[in-house]
Amino acid sequence: MSGPDDRPLRVMKFGGSSVGDSERMAATAAIIKQHAGDSRLVVVVSAMEGVTASLLRAAGAASRRETETWQQIGAELRARHLRVCTTLVPDRDRQGILARIDSAMDTLQDYCAGFSLVRELTPRSLDALSSLGEVLAAALLAATLRAGGLAAEAVDATELIVTDDSFGNAALVFEPTQVKVGSRLGPLLERGAIPVVTGFRAAARDGSFTTLGRGGSDYSATILGAALPAREIWIWTDVAGVMTADPRLVPGARVIPQLSYREAIELSFFGAKVLHPKSLDLPARAGIPVLIKNSFEPDAPGTEVGGSRPRNPGVRAIASTAQAALFTVSADRSVAFTRLATLVFGWLDADRVSTLVVTQSSAENVLSFAVNSGEAAGVRRRLDRELGRSLAAVEELDQVGVVVAVGEGMKGTPGIAARIFSSIARLGINVAAIAQGSSELSVSLVVRATDVEASVRAMHQEFGL
């Protein structure tokens, strides 16, 4: 009788580019097989690259009664998944996968017919439709693993992850999730099988399909990693790791070998696309390292988030977004600043709007904050409706960007802010707002959108990143 399996438990998440076609899915299966010998594995998988966007495009076409368009999209999706199935899945497993593809395409047709009838898309129905690609990718990858001699089973995350009913961007309910993860995945791991779990997808308490927001497969992986708990969480993607800056803006940007949780959270919030902004909260609390790896270069070291504390003080990376809007709310002295701030942030919270930068002047009764440009119109409508001209004046500066210097070791390192401002002042770039957190983890600047690239390059060069 064999003893307990004491191999470390790792959660590995593979993004859409890692399973984008037969070749990439076979390469991903090879990576999993390589690590299956020395680790117990739980795999989380996204839809094949571009599938989620195609599903949403089909839904939009159906709501406009563009029948030929959504039917064509459905036919293309069916053909794409069938190609992977016939290439990678042996005959003994193929019938079940073909039935899964047929079922998903029937679901797509049913939803699109409904959208066409009512000419409306609801967040609830879109959640049910948009994650069908994950169901198919998990089934195909599990079958590919079995063809390679590994015990693997596709698992729908609706059986595991419990959320509220905020369709489109649901919030995790962790305690019942932890119970479900243990009861569903525990037996699979005990018998040596690899669960292949759908990313991005979850369910409310009443069983309704929900999603964790775009890019939510990273979040799915870290939820499972914290719930199990796992020794490590590996995020396999198509980039080499977290970079010192966006390489499209700074060709000389390099991979950062190690980041603290706080640094990585800050970078993901301000536009670094490698990690979902919510994905590091649970690993940070549990102390579980998160590794960012490149599935196209599996032997490259990547970036480790967590683990030992980074040794280099000062600025570690420059994050940026060129799509923001800056609002300034000015009230007269009859309105206490604390009341002004409470009202404004209460409305933002109710609308689930995140602020990128916040500055204030209590003496002048002025509050400024930046939001993503996609949320600016809604913020403007809310402020105009709630405040009115009698209570406060609202100014909006659109077409701005936010540039952020991030580094755990900035605290206690003199001269950082002076160097930041000097580097962009030499270029004659005007700064519309400045914010620095009390933790001194980051310094944020609001500049014109057209000045973002030059600002990032100047700061990157100033700190020798």
pLDDT per residue as tens digits for the range 272-291: 667 777 888 899 999 999 99
DSSP code for 386: H
Determine whether 374 is exposed, middle or buried from the number of CB atoms within 10 Å of its CB (0-12, 13-18, 19+).
exposed
**CA gap 11, 229 in Å, rounded:** 9
Sign of CA dihedral 60, 66, 71, 77: negative
Band of the pLDDT at 412, cuts 50, 70, 90?
low
- pLDDT tens profile 80-123: 999 999 999 998 889 999 999 999 999 999 999 999 998 989 98
Rounded to a whole number of angstroms, the CA Rg of the chain reads 24
Mean pLDDT of 332-350: 83
Which residues of the chain are in CATH 3.40.1160.10 domains?
A: 9-238
CA 6 to chain centre: 31
Q: At what angle do helices 132-147 and 67-88 cross, to 10 degrees?
A: 10
Architecture of domain 317-462: 2-Layer Sandwich (3.30)
- pLDDT tens profile 9-31: 999 999 999 999 999 999 999 99
Element (H, E) at 283: helix 281-286
CB contact at 8 A, 149 and 32: no
DSSP-derived 3-state class of residue 262 = helix
**CA gap 419, 317 in Å, rounded:** 14
User: For 407-458, where are the E strands, in sequence order?
Assistant: 433-436, 442-448
CA dihedral 202, 206, 207, 213 (to 10 degrees): -20
DSSP structure string for 43-102: EEEPPSTTHHHHHHHHHHHHHTT-HHHHHHHHHHHHHHHHHHHHHHS-HHHHHHHHHHHH
Vertex 146, ends 180 and 95: CA angle to 5°?
Answer: 95
Mean pLDDT of 366-389: 84
Is the pLDDT at 385 greater than 70? The verdict is yes
Mean pLDDT of 323-334: 84
Which residues of the chain are in CATH 3.30.2130.10 domains?
A: 317-462
Q: How many CB atoms lie within 10 A of CB 198?
A: 29
Band of the pLDDT at 1, cuts 50, 70, 90?
very low
Which range is most confident: 51-55, 120-124, 402-406? 51-55
Q: Which of 214-218, 302-306, 366-370, 426-430 has the lowest mean pLDDT?
A: 214-218
Band of the pLDDT at 390, cuts 50, 70, 90?
low
CATH code of domain 9-238:
3.40.1160.10
DSSP-derived 3-state class of residue 1 = coil
Q: At what angle do helices 91-118 and 51-63 cross, to 10 degrees?
A: 30
